[in-house]
Chains A and B, each alone.
Chain A
Amino acid sequence: NAGVTQTPKFQVLKTGQSMTLQCAQDMNHNSMYWYRQDPGMGLRLIYYSASEGTTDKGEVPNGYNVSRLNKREFSLRLESAAPSQTSVYFCASTSAGSYNEQFFGPGTRLTVL
């Protein structure tokens, strides 16, 4: 099993450009999450999807949209990137049947110039 995979690993954007961060999991998990982590900070929840077909806002949803494409995939879209969105983005997933141990991907390092 690959676990949680994220693409791309690195990305540089100019202000105003758009892009989609991809996340996929092969563990048949119901719930998926997108976090951002700024230097010296803990993780902050952007959006989550408790199950296929549902999405909800987290702490810092402004400037982002998400799509739960199917049970495996959960994408994060930046419609018009801003320098404040420079961060490391982590995707995670968890099984509804467990005590919600979250499995994390390796992260996407995004710089917005």
Chain B
Amino acid sequence: DAKTTQPTSMDCAEGRAANLPCNHSTISGNEYVYWYRQIHSQGPQYIIHGLKNNETNEMASLIITEDRKSSTLILPHATLRDTAVYYCIVRGNAGNNRKLIWGLGTSLAVNP
């Protein structure tokens, strides 16, 4: 079973920040939060991951609440090419916990 809950779809205006929420209220102490995206039937693409601190890379920022029960992926200046399905996944980093369990994700539409 997927351990995360995401909105089915979201819209964002081009050039604005896209904030994608994820609920993972049953996350355990050794589980990381990962974000991937899938653009129109291509293979999924890794975006970012974190444990408890906020993280930033060239693609996005990840904000994790202090209790770690939810997180937000931020695309600071969304472009039309960011239109995709975004998946939030929680998983451990050892042994069989390395397997990713995928939910349905959030379909983000960036509009001109």
A→B interface (CB under 8 Å): 4, 31, 35, 40-45, 48, 50, 56, 58-59, 88, 90, 92, 94, 99-107
Contacts and interface: CB of A to CB of B under 8 A. Distances in A.
A90 to B, nearest CB: 5
A96 B49 CA distance: 16
Interface of B: 2, 32, 36, 41-46, 49, 87, 93, 96, 98-105
B43 A106 contact: yes
Contacts of A43: 44, 100, 102
Contacts, number: 50
A92 B43 contact: yes
A102 B100 contact: yes
Given A42-B103, A42-B105, A100 B98 contact: yes
Given A41-B104, A42-B104, A44-B102, A99 B42 contact: no
A111 B8 CA distance: 27
Contacts of A92: 43-44
